[in-house]
């Protein structure tokens, strides 16, 4: 009889999986950057490709917590401009993601996002009216890149954060729009992982089931902490977190 995946996990690895689940929950509740350590931790336990499939249902669980809390704060027009292009990017990533060097793509993504962060930081700190174009092709380019990045490595966070942040939303609308956006995108990614990549299986779903309590707990903790942060400090926090994530992708 083939040994099940769940039976190979050591107690120490379970502790790391639980920590990853809590960080993912906090991240989705609005503490962007909290999950930076989760992706390499999970990759170290399950391997790079399988870990993407293990993490995806964890992300969806955390998305549900965020959507329930921020359900009335989404900017649907902004989300719907980005969503179709993102799903095309997901499809491209599913088909050809394995043929493109991941390091090269991540480096390019990081450079683009860091340039955008620098522009938005100048706008925030200097209080200058830097106009961010809202033309359709901006949503198309960023959506395609985000879709590809989320499919090949759950790495779309910095680029979608950059797009949503540039719209000048309030804290709750920023988090609510992102929560709905990621919930839809992550849910639509599931068939690709089941059918094309085989990275979501009955074994991985059992692991996900065990992590539900810590993900929910992390989400509730994140919601509490976000409520304590005022609007302007939160915007500066998002810029710093996005820049940090992008630097990690670069190096």
Q: Is there a contact between 240 and 101 (Cβ–Cβ < 8 Å)?
A: no
163-202 pLDDT per residue, tens? 887 787 888 999 999 999 999 999 999 998 898 888 899 9
pLDDT of residue 103: 65
pLDDT for residue 46: 87
pTM: 0.83
User: Mutual orientation of helices 171-191 and 231-250 as an angle, nearest 10°?
Assistant: 40
pLDDT at 88: 94
Q: How far apart are CA 139 and CA 133, in angstroms?
A: 10
Cβ burial 53-67 (10 Å sphere, 16+ → b, else e):
bbbbbbbbbbbbbbb
| Low-confidence residues in the chain, pLDDT < 50 | 1-2
CA 219 vs CA 13, 132, 179, 184, 240: distances in Å:
21, 31, 12, 18, 21
Dmax of the chain from CA atoms?
A: 66
- Report CA 81 to chain centroid distance, whole Å: 18
Q: Which residues contact 238 (CB under 8 A, 6 or more apart)?
A: 32, 161, 165, 174
């Amino acid at each position: 009889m083939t040994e099940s995946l769940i039976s190979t996990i050591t107690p120490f690895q379970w502790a790391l999986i639980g920590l990853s689940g809590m960080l993912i929950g906090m991240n989705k509740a609005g503490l962007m950057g909290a999950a930076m350590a989760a992706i390499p931790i999970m990759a170290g336990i399950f391997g790079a490709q399988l870990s993407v499939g293990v993490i995806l249902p964890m992300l969806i669980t955390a998305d549900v917590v965020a959507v329930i809390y921020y359900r009335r704060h989404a900017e649907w027009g902004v989300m719907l401009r980005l969503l179709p292009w993102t799903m095309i990017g997901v499809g491209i990533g599913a088909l050809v993601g394995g043929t493109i060097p991941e390091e090269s793509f991540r480096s390019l993504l990081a450079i683009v996002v860091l340039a955008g962060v620098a522009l938005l930081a100048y706008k925030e700190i200097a209080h200058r009216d830097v106009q961010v174009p809202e033309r359709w092709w901006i949503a198309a380019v960023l959506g395609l890149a985000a879709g590809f990045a989320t499919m090949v490595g759950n790495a779309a966070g910095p680029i979608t954060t950059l797009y949503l942040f540039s719209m000048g939303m309030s804290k709750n609308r920023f988090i609510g729009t992102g929560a709905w956006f990621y919930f839809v995108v992550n849910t639509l990614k599931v068939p690709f992982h089941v059918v094309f990549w085989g990275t979501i299986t009955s074994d991985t779903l059992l692991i996900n089931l065990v992590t539900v309590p810590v993900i929910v707990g992390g989400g509730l903790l994140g919601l509490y902490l976000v409520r304590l942060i005022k609007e302007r400090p939160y915007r500066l926090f998002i810029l710093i977190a996005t820049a940090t994530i992008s630097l990690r992708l670069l190096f």
